[in-house]
């Protein structure tokens, strides 16, 4: 946050109003959790200024539809309707009745016809909107873009400077000295000083309220202080993380995620989870969770910690950004990995805004099976891994799934994606929660007589166990000794010391990576990436792994050829890439 008092300001249109829905949602939730009679310690209205372009974007429609359903009466949107966008008049492509649409969403609607001059009317409209507490409000304020300028009301003033001559004319028209620049009139400075004093007085009143709250409700205050004022997790939260052994039965990592989330939800009350209409597939709702719903719905209440986003992936991510911005809540939101592409505009801003949002993305490869190439992600992780300030996890078993949550929750200024399987996979000897913090580690070393492996196999997610089986196959059939490296998070591996990275991936040893996704980006870590650079196919997942050559036998044949090649060819160093 660069400016006090402004929680978010976004570049891509539609994101800000969607963030505002998240801010209002967070206020309702924390108020329901912490407020007691006579102690409204959480009590604010969320204001948002939006324009024609904002309301044209689909993400705004998704978020505002949900806001109406949730009856977020603490949200007031000022819609600057100036009839102009970059291409020219909005009549070129935007002639709907916006307020009718918002009434259909369940919003309270108002209009101010002369937004250029009728400041009293604007003030009355805001007061009326604040008084409506069972619905969000939108106020259509009809204005003139570039009001007072020579090209007022045209697209020419949308993104271009007015120029010296027109700036001088505008200053003269409104009673300013056109020769002066960067001058704040004394009466304006005085007005702001008075507002600052008023703000300080209200801050003192709130601080006093919180002190009384502390005396009346000490346990609640302690939790309020930890979550909302200090923004720290409970001291012993990590003790809730479950661990697993190779003797435990194979389980899909989406199910393991549910097990971990259930344990953490009890320990970390600020966790709010949700899904874009895939709760039964994403497994993001723990037993006993209450839905966040308007109390009038009979479906839950505002204390609820489970969010039903409907099929609104983009809106979900943008709302989660607003929730994270508000503070006191850690949002975890979910859909199929392939459909995070629907939400990419918002998820990119999660990283850019340095927000702790955790994306629980299931059905992470061709392993989802018969849904076919429309649902099977190929390029998705490559896109996410390429996004700055992101942590992308693809855990290989139960310990790594717990470790992914551990690593993600420890972050306070960057988001994480957990990429999880639909199919069952085994728990692996050598995995651990702590190892995930390194991003990549030696899961199973070779038993080469020389102490140096003949090959290194890097696996992620469901392909890590395939690498373990491949190493066994290479040893038994070809007398080749392979080290297996698990790489649950390339981003964290990149942050390790060069000495550690060389220890895991030493020079002079051919490296093969195996992932049932695009090989794009893997040449940074492997001499020969094995993956899928076409769209997927429909069929049982085991058959698909055979079709795409992701079996121990198929990988072994390639590994033998690679080992043979490097008997007469120097192995290039990978570490200059780091």
Active site residues: 313
Q: Which residue has the tokens 């992701």?
A: 550
Which runs of E-coded beta strand occur in 395-459? 416-419, 441-444, 455-459
In whole angstroms, what is the distance from residue 429 CA to residue 443 CA? 7
Q: Which residue has the tokens 């102690």?
A: 39
Assigned token pair, 436: 């995930």
Q: Which residues of 89-127 are buried (b: 16+ CB within 10 A; e: fewer)?
A: ebeeeeeeebbebbeebbbbbbebeebeeeeebbeebbe
Instruction: Write out the DSSP string of 515-554.
Output: -SS--TTGGGT-SEEE---S----S-HHHHHHHTT-SHHH
Which runs of E-coded beta strand occur in 82-214? 84-85, 88-89, 108-112, 137-142
In whole angstroms, what is the distance from residue 380 CA to residue 376 CA? 9
Please name the helix (run of DSSP H) or strand (run of DSSP E) that holds residue 159, with its range, or none: none
Strands 108-112 and 358-362: unpaired
Give the largest CA-CA distance in the chain: 90
In whole angstroms, what is the distance from residue 502 CA to residue 130 CA? 60
In whole angstroms, what is the distance from residue 214 CA to residue 51 CA? 42
Assigned token pair, 452: 């140096």
Assigned token pair, 416: 């994480």
Cβ 374 vs Cβ 347: under 8 Å: no
In whole angstroms, what is the distance from residue 336 CA to residue 105 CA? 26
Assigned token pair, 257: 């995620």
How many residues make up the chain in this entry? 578
In whole angstroms, what is the distance from residue 196 CA to residue 29 CA? 29
Distance, CA of 560 to chain centre: 41
Strands 391-393 and 330-336: unpaired
In whole angstroms, what is the distance from residue 383 CA to residue 518 CA? 10
Cβ 282 vs Cβ 452: under 8 Å: no
Cβ 460 vs Cβ 488: under 8 Å: yes
Which residues contact residue 527 at a Cβ distance below 8 angstroms, ignoring those fewer than 6 apart?
Answer: 510, 511, 512, 562, 571, 572, 574
In whole angstroms, what is the distance from residue 565 CA to residue 17 CA? 57
Question: Which candidate, 564, 344, 318, places its Cα nearest to that of 454?
Answer: 564
Q: Which residue has the tokens 């204001």?
A: 47
Paired residues of 112 in beta bridges = 141
């Amino acid at each position: 946050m660069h400016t006090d008092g402004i929680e978010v300001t976004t570049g891509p249109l539609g994101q800000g109003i969607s963030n505002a829905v998240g801010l209002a949602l967070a206020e309702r939730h924390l108020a329901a959790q912490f407020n007691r009679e006579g102690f409204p310690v959480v009590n604010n209205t969320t204001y948002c200024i939006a324009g024609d372009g904002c309301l044209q974007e689909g993400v705004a429609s998704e978020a505002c539809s949900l806001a109406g359903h949730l009856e977020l009466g603490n949200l007031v949107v000022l819609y600057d309707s100036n009839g102009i966008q970059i291409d020219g008049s909005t009549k070129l492509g935007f002639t709907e009745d916006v307020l009718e649409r918002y009434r259909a969403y369940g919003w309270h609607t108002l209009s101010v016809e002369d937004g250029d001059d009728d400041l009293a009317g604007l003030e009355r409209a805001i007061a009326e909107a604040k008084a409506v507490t069972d619905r969000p409000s939108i106020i259509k304020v009809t204005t003139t873009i570039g009001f007072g300028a020579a090209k007022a009301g045209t697209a020419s003033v949308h993104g271009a400077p007015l120029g010296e001559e027109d700036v001088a004319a505008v200053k003269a028209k409104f009673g300013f000295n056109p020769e002066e620049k960067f001058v704040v009139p004394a009466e304006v400075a005085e007005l702001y000083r008075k507002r600052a004093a008023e703000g300080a007085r209200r801050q003192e009143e709130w601080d006093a309220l919180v002190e009384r709250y502390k005396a009346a409700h000490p346990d609640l205050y302690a939790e309020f202080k930890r979550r909302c004022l200090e923004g720290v997790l409970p001291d012993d939260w990590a003790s809730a993380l479950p661990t697993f052994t190779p003797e435990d039965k194979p389980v899909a990592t989406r199910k393991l995620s549910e097990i971990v989330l259930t344990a953490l939800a009890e320990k970390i009350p600020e966790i709010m989870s949700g899904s874009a209409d895939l709760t039964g597939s994403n497994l993001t709702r723990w037993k006993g969770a209450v839905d966040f719903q308007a109390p009038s719905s009979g479906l839950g209440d505002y204390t609820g910690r489970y969010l039903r986003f409907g099929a609104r992936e983009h809106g979900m991510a943008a709302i989660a950004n607003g929730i994270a911005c508000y503070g006191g809540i850690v949002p975890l939101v979910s859909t199929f990995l392939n459909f995070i592409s629907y939400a990419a505009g918002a998820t990119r801003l999660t990283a850019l805004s340095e927000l702790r949002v955790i994306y629980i993305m299931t059905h992470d490869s061709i392993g989802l099976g018969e849904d076919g190439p429309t649902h099977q992600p190929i390029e998705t992780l490559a896109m996410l891994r390429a996004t700055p300030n992101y942590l992308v996890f693809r855990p290989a078993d139960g310990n790594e799934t717990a470790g992914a949550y551990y690593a993600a929750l420890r972050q306070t200024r960057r988001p994480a994606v957990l990429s999880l399987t639909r199919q069952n996979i085994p728990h692996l000897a050598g995995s651990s929660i702590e190892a995930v913090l390194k991003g990549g580690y030696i899961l199973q070393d070779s038993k080469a007589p020389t102490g140096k492996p003949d090959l290194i196999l890097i696996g992620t997610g469901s392909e890590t166990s395939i690498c373990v089986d491949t190493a066994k196959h290479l040893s038994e059939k070809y007398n080749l000794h392979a080290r297996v490296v698990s790489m649950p998070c390339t981003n964290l591996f990149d942050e390790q010391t060069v000495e550690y990275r060389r220890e895991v991936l030493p020079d002079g040893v051919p490296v093969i990576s195996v992932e049932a996704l695009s090989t794009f980006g893997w040449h940074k870590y492997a001499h020969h990436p094995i993956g899928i650079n076409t769209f997927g196919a429909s069929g049982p997942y085991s058959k698909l792994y055979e079709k795409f050559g992701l079996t121990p036998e198929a990988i072994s044949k390639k590994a033998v050829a690679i080992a043979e090649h490097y008997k007469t060819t120097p192995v290039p160093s990978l570490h200059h890439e780091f």
